[in-house]
C-alpha cells in the first residue's frame, strides 16, 4: 500500500526583484504556485518559465536552479513534501491553474495548520494535491476539494449553532456563492446539507443511545426544541419518540 504524501515545510516567498532561484540538489518534492511576477527555473536540463497562476512541480532528487533573473516583484506559495508512488506521482511538471483562487485558499489553510499539527498539515497537503490534480488534469471539477473541506467542517460542527452565514464567514465566501458551490457538488444547497446532517445524527442518537429527545435536540444543534420536533416530523412523518419506539415494536424472528 502506498503511503500518503507527507508534509515537510511550506511557506510564502516574496522578492522585490533582481532575484533568481538558488541552485540545489537532493531536495524532496516541491510544489510552487505563482502569485505575482515570473520565475525562470530549471530542473536538470528542463527549463520552465513560470508565470502568475501557474503551478510547478519540482521532483525529488534532481538539481534545480534559476537560469535567468526575475527583475520585477515575485511572490509564490511553496511546499516541500515526501511522496512515494501513488495517485499524485503523475502530476504535470508545469500547468496553468483553471481556478487559482481555490488553490490559493487551500495553500493558506496548509500554512495555518502546519504551525501546530503535523497530521493536519498532511491532511491539508492531500487536499491541495487533489485540487491541483483536478485543475491540471483532464477530469477537472471546479471547487470539489473545497466543497469536501466545507462539508467535513460542517459535519464536525453539527452540534453547534451553525448556519449558512457562519459557514460562509469561516471560509471567507459570500453565503449565496458558497451555497451554490455546495449544490453543484452535493446536489443540495448548504442550508439543506446542514439540516440533512442534523437529521441523520438525530436518527442515529435516537436508535443507538438512551438520551432524552431534548438532549438529542441540543446535540444536533437545535437550541429551539419545538423547531427540532417540527423539522423531525417533516423528515420522518412521526415525532422523535414515535420514531424511537418503532424500533422496539418490530417483532424479532425466533
The Cα–Cα gap between 223 and 245 comes to 24
Mean pLDDT (the chain, rounded):
87
How confident is the model at residue 162, as a pLDDT?
94
The Cα–Cα gap between 64 and 248 comes to 68
Closest to 126 (Cα-Cα) out of 113, 139, 142: 113
Please give the class, per CATH, of domain 6-142. mainly beta
The Cα–Cα gap between 71 and 74 comes to 9
How confident is the model at residue 251, as a pLDDT?
42
Nine-digit cell string for 197: 446532517
Q: Cell 464536525 identifies what position? A: 156
Query: What average pLDDT does range 45-70 have in this prediction?
Result: 92
Q: Does the pLDDT value for residue 60 go beyond 80?
A: yes
Q: Does the pLDDT value for residue 2 go beyond 50?
A: no
**For 144-158, how does the pLDDT look when each residue is reduced to its tens digit (9 = 90+)?**
667 888 888 998 899
pLDDT band at 139 (very low <50, low <70, confident <90, very high): very low
pTM above 0.85, yes or no: no
Cα-based torsion angle of the residue sequence 145, 151, 154, 156 in order, rounded to the nearest 10 degrees: -80
C-alpha 158: how far from chain center? 18
**For 208-236, how does the pLDDT look when each residue is reduced to its tens digit (9 = 90+)?**
888 999 999 999 999 999 999 999 999 99
**What is the DSSP code (8-state) at residue 5?**
P
Higher pLDDT residue, 187 or 22? 22
Where does 149-254 sit in CATH, by number? 1.10.10.60
The Cα–Cα gap between 134 and 143 comes to 9
Sign of the dihedral through C-alpha 155, 209, 199, 231: negative
Domain ranges of the chain: 6-142, 149-254
Closest to 241 (Cα-Cα) out of 211, 198, 206, 200: 206
**For 93-130, how does the pLDDT look when each residue is reduced to its tens digit (9 = 90+)?**
898 888 888 899 999 999 999 998 888 899 999 989 98
Amino acid at each position: 500500500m502506498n503511503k500518503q504524501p507527507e508534509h515537510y515545510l511550506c511557506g510564502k516567498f516574496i522578492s522585490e526583484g533582481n532575484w533568481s532561484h538558488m541552485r540545489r540538489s537532493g531536495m524532496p518534492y516541491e510544489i510552487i504556485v505563482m502569485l505575482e511576477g515570473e520565475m525562470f527555473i530549471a530542473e536538470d536540463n528542463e527549463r520552465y518559465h513560470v508565470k502568475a497562476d501557474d503551478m510547478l512541480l519540482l521532483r525529488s532528487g534532481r538539481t534545480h536552479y534559476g537560469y535567468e533573473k526575475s527583475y520585477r516583484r515575485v511572490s509564490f506559495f511553496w511546499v516541500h513534501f515526501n511522496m512515494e508512488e501513488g495517485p499524485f506521482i503523475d502530476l504535470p511538471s508545469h500547468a496553468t491553474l483553471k481556478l487559482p483562487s481555490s488553490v490559493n485558499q487551500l495553500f493558506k489553510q496548509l500554512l495555518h495548520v502546519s504551525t501546530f499539527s503535523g497530521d493536519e498539515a498532511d491532511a491539508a497537503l492531500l487536499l491541495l494535491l487533489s485540487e491541483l490534480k483536478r485543475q491540471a488534469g483532464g477530469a477537472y471539477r471546479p471547487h470539489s476539494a473545497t466543497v469536501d473541506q466545507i462539508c467535513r467542517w460542517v459535519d464536525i460542527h453539527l452540534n453547534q449553532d451553525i448556519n449558512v452565514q457562519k459557514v460562509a464567514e469561516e471560509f471567507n465566501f459570500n453565503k449565496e456563492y458558497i451555497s451554490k458551490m455546495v449544490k453543484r457538488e452535493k446536489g443540495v444547497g448548504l442550508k439543506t446539507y446542514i439540516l440533512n446532517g442534523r437529521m441523520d445524527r438525530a436518527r442515529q442518537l435516537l436508535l443507538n443511545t438512551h438520551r432524552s429527545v431534548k438532549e438529542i435536540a441540543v446535540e444536533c444543534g437545535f437550541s429551539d426544541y419545538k423547531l427540532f420536533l417540527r423539522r423531525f416530523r417533516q423528515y420522518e412523518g412521526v415525532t422523535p419518540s414515535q420514531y424511537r419506539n418503532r424500533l422496539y415494536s418490530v417483532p424479532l424472528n425466533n
